[in-house]
Amino acid sequence: MSNSNLTLADLQNSETSETVPPSKPAASKARMSIPAQKNKLLVFWISAAVISLDQVTKWLVLKNMRRGQSIDLLGDWLKFTFTENPGMAFGIEYGHPALITVFSIVATGLILFYTVRVGYLHGAYQVSLAFVLGGAIGNIIDRVFYGAILYDTPLFVGKVVDFIHVNVWRGTVADGIPYFGGKFVALFPIWNVADMAIVVGVVGILFFQNKFHEKADAMKAIDEDATADSAAMSADAAADDGAATTLP
């Protein structure tokens, strides 16, 4: 009798192991973990490369140029002009420098969180976010430390070093143009490597966002199906357990 009971238990265990597949959510996470880790490293290296190039070029400008100096590269079209920007990107001034610095740090933190959280779903989209992240950190370094290092001012009130001067057009905008009408505008303002990286990243985000959201929606649907299947399997298992307990 004991041998018969052992045989029945063995059969039940064998059937259970054969009929119950591995949890789909767990399998999905296992498949995603390795690519996600690789993509996080990609974000780190791209951002680090942008920050390094940005800071090296700014250091060269600080060591070899004086404020206001211009070096012609392609006539009036392209030159290096050393300026310091207390405001936001491209010379836009809005609020106290310390407030701009704090806002930049908070925004960069959100970008980092978003990049790590969901950016891995689409490689090109994540690369674009990495460019934005690297550029933002590059300018934050200027705002936080450059004032204290160069001019003995408090932290968080430093100015951003700008030097890439692309003089496409300068002039007064027609009065009928909203907001800019009657104002003197220079296209483009003087900027730096960090600003360039931010522009490249934003363009990439706009270009790849549809593909990113399509993939995100597909992954969400897969997770929902896996969750529904897991719930159904749990319900079936509970029903089988309930039926087994009622047997004499």
Active-site positions read 162, 195
Tokens standing for residue 41 = 């490293």
Measured between alpha carbons, how far is 204 from 132 in angstroms, rounded to an integer? 10
Q: Contacts from 212-219 at CB under 8 Å and sequence distance 24+? A: 212/121, 212/122, 212/125, 215/121, 215/122, 216/118, 216/121, 216/122, 219/121
Measured between alpha carbons, how far is 196 from 31 in angstroms, rounded to an integer? 35
Cα atoms in the Cβ-side hemisphere of radius 13 Å centred on 205: 16
Measured between alpha carbons, how far is 228 from 189 in angstroms, rounded to an integer? 54
DSSP of 51-103: HHHHHHHHHHHHHH--TT-EEEEETTTEEEEEEEESSSGGG---S-HHHHHHH
Tokens standing for residue 152 = 């003995």
